[in-house]
Structure 1
Amino acid sequence: MENQEQLFTISIYTENNIGLLNRISAIFQRRHVNIESINGSASEIEEVSKWTILVNMTEENMKKIIGQIEKQVEVIKAYYHSDEETIYQESCLFKIKSDLLFEEPQIQNIIKESNARIVTVNKEFFVLEKSGRRSEVDLLYRELSAHGILQFNRSGRIAVTKEPMEISKMLEALNS
């Protein structure tokens, strides 16, 4: 399994410094690895940022990249996980013509069946929000595309691990 490509979710805990994202993305670029998605946010630890990156590669290469990422001074710790080890979601927004909502009963069925949520409605358009697995978002996109999508935007993956992560204990030890 080590030499077979698979999706990995990378969690990188960092200080929030200018230029770090460029250096980390260059690590992937040098190895010709495409980043499927990237999301940056605050983490569960005060003043520590967390980046969640989704990549498709072999585990052997993943281990090498994690080692290179952790050499960056501002990186506190980096982890990688398979899909089976994480709970993950994506979010997206769809902007669609309002008349479809009222004149096309199939649209209302699509919304209900997909567990999407209407965020706003006005005369010209309405906006749907959907959170879920990539396959769920892709399915909703295909179903709505047949009726016309004015705008579409999707987030990067957000994820938490099923097992506890040791980052908080590690930081407590560093601060002691």
Structure 2
Amino acid sequence: MEKQEFTITLYTENSVGLIGRISGIFSRRKINIESLNTSPSEVEGIHRFTILINETEEVVRKLCRQLEKQIDILKAYFNTDDEIVWQEQALYKVPTKVVTEKVYVERLLRQYGASTVVIREDYIVFETAGHREEIDRLTEELNKYGLIEFVRGARIAIIKSSAGIHEKVLEFEKREPSHEIVENEYLDKRDDVFTM
């Protein structure tokens, strides 16, 4: 099987140390993470990880099964680029003089839908969103005109055929209703029992 890009979407609980455990699974399998984004999901209390890797489908399938065994991971999906709607975001710092004196640069920024974030006497910061190839092309062009700084954000993606995580959470709650959560438990060292 040939390697290709896969976007892995994880729905997780928001727990401390989870990102370390997730990256540990990738490290043990010698899989490089090309891009990683985490944010709250559409369901309160559930976070969403979007991870981009380059691997074979067989390896990705096994990886997702391994990830779902983690106690804090509710669901793991993997998709090819044609199964998702995705974007990356980028910021560009360009000398003000170049933008004001070179009409081509201004047209180029408009062509790529770049919007102004900061205007200073010595530089202007623009932002744009798009596919990696578009961001790479704009970066290459701006390099010809003295691009000062560039940063790209991680991939964000929505699965085309997904109904989100709402239904799965409701289904899970019906099967295994949650117990009342007790916070701030601590170990009483005198008698080695948990107290509240």
TM-score range, shorter chain: over 0.9
1:15-38 alpha-carbon deviations (Å, 9 max, x no partner): 111111111111111121111100
Query: In structure 2, what is the equivalent of residue 160 of structure 1?
Result: 158
Matches within 5 A, 1:15-94: 15-94=13-92
Q: Matches of 1:72 and 1:104 in 2, distance apart? A: 54
Q: Matches of 1:148 and 1:16 in 2, distance apart? A: 42
1:135 aligns with 2:127: no
Query: In structure 2, what is the equivalent of residue 146 of structure 1?
Result: 144
**Which stretch of structure 1 is more off in the superposition, 108-117 or 6-15?**
108-117
SS of the equivalent of 1:12 reads strand
**Residue identity opposite 1:162 in structure 2:** K
Give the CA deviation at 1:166.
Answer: 5.7
Q: Matches of 1:135 and 1:42 in 2, distance apart? A: 27
RMSD: 1.1
Q: Matches of 1:62 and 1:41 in 2, distance apart? A: 22
Q: Which runs of 5+ in 2 are unaligned?
A: 175-196
Identical-pair percentage: 39
1:109 aligns with 2:99: no
Q: Matches of 2:26 and 2:15 in 1, distance apart? A: 19
SS of the equivalent of 1:163 reads coil
Indicate the structure whose relative CO is greater, using CA pairs within 8 Å and at least 6 residues apart. 1
Q: Matches of 2:87 and 2:52 in 1, distance apart? A: 12
How many residue pairs get aligned? The number is 174
Query: In structure 2, what is the equivalent of residue 175 of structure 1?
Result: 173
SS of the equivalent of 2:162 reads coil
SS of the equivalent of 2:9 reads strand
Q: Matches of 2:39 and 2:165 in 1, distance apart? A: 16
Give the CA deviation at 1:76.
Answer: 0.8
Of the two, which has the highest radius of gyration?
A: 2
Q: Matches of 1:125 and 1:167 in 2, distance apart? A: 43
**Residue identity opposite 1:26 in structure 2:** G
Q: Give TM-score scaled by structure 1 length.
A: 0.95
SS of the equivalent of 1:21 reads helix
Q: Matches of 1:42 and 1:19 in 2, distance apart? A: 16
Q: Give TM-score scaled by structure 2 length.
A: 0.85
**Residue identity opposite 1:152 in structure 2:** F
